[in-house]
Every structure is written in structure tokens, then in C-alpha cells.
């Protein structure tokens, strides 16, 4: 994690909580990413106006995990819940993902090691969310949640 000082970590957490008061812990962070979106009609990637610091975090309410890119270019941040329906594919230095709306995005990482580390983290969180969903009681009530225990596991593979 790049946030090394306690003061810096607390400031980052406080900034995230300004946007979402349910965020309770920063799990990982990387300093420079840019977001691209896949245009299926043109069959090409298009750069968005979102780039900045990527934070992966836990929340005290559903959805219990998420990530955000705190945008340096304007006030529009990317906020994405991490759930069992999120699919990731690592293509260094890009981390591609498809969300539950079937929109396809690519996150470009300045640091290739950060890309690999975040990809592994996302795969573990998605697997954990899938396991939690399988354990949901049949009456539809939410199972009790605890703070994330990051287990290992492979990510789903797909292509554009």
C-alpha cells in the first residue's frame, strides 16, 4: 500500500468518508491510474476523463467492498461496488473489468506491480463475495458479515 504514514492514511480515509460515510477501512491504494471504457459499436477503447488515485476499501453496510478512483481531472469520481457479479481480467498494465450492468472498463496502472497486486486483491474479494452469496439464507435476509478475510482464488476469464 502506498499510503505509508498514519496521518496520510487517516486523511485518505476521511476524504473517502466524505463521499461515503460507510467506508470503514482502506485495504489497498495505488497512486496513478486512468480509466478507459470499451465502445462495443466502434470495437475500441476510449479514454475517459477519470484518472487519479485508486482506493480499495471495506464498508460497514452493503455492498461491503468497493473501489473508487479519486479523480484529479474533475469532480467526477469512479465508484464501483465489488460484488460476485464483477469480473476481472489482468492484461498488464491494464486491469479489465465488467460490472453487473455488463459495461466493460479498463484501468491503466502507472506501476505494473500495483496492477498485479490490485488484480489479485480484486479476485480474492470477488471470490469472497460469491461465497457469501452462496451462504445467504433462503428467506432473503442478509447473512451476518464480518470484516473481510482476504482469501486467495483465481479470477474469471473473459474477453471483449
Domain boundaries, the chain: 6-134
- Residue 140: pLDDT band by 50, 70, 90 thresholds? low
The correct CATH number of 6-134 out of 3.30.450.370, 2.30.29.30, 3.40.50.360, 1.10.3720.10 is 2.30.29.30
Strands 78-81 and 87-91: unpaired
pTM (2 decimals)? 0.81
Using only C-alpha atoms, what is the Rg of the chain?
16
Write phi, then psi, for 16 (nearest 5 degrees): -65, -40
pLDDT tens readout for residues 36-58: 999 989 999 999 999 999 999 99
Amino acid at each position: 500500500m502506498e499510503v505509508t504514514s498514519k496521518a496520510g492514511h487517516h486523511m485518505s480515509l476521511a476524504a473517502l468518508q466524505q463521499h461515503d460515510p460507510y467506508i470503514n477501512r482502506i485495504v489497498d491504494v495505488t497512486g496513478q491510474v486512468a480509466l478507459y471504457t470499451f465502445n462495443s459499436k466502434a470495437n475500441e477503447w476510449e479514454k475517459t476523463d477519470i484518472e487519479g488515485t485508486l482506493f480499495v476499501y471495506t464498508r460497514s453496510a452493503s455492498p461491503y467492498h468497493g473501489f473508487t478512483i479519486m479523480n484529479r481531472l474533475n469532480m467526477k469520481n469512479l465508484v464501483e461496488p465489488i460484488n460476485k457479479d464483477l469480473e476481472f481480467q489482468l492484461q498488464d498494465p491494464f486491469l479489465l473489468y465488467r460490472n453487473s450492468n455488463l459495461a466493460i472498463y479498463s484501468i491503466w496502472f502507472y506501476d505494473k506491480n500495483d496492477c498485479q497486486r490490485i488484480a489479485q486483491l480484486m479476485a480474492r474479494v470477488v471470490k469472497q463475495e460469491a461465497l457469501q452469496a452462496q451462504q445467504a439464507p433462503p428467506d432473503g435476509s442478509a447473512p451476518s458479515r464480518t470484516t473481510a478475510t482476504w482469501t486467495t482464488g483465481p479470477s474469471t476469464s473473459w474477453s471483449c
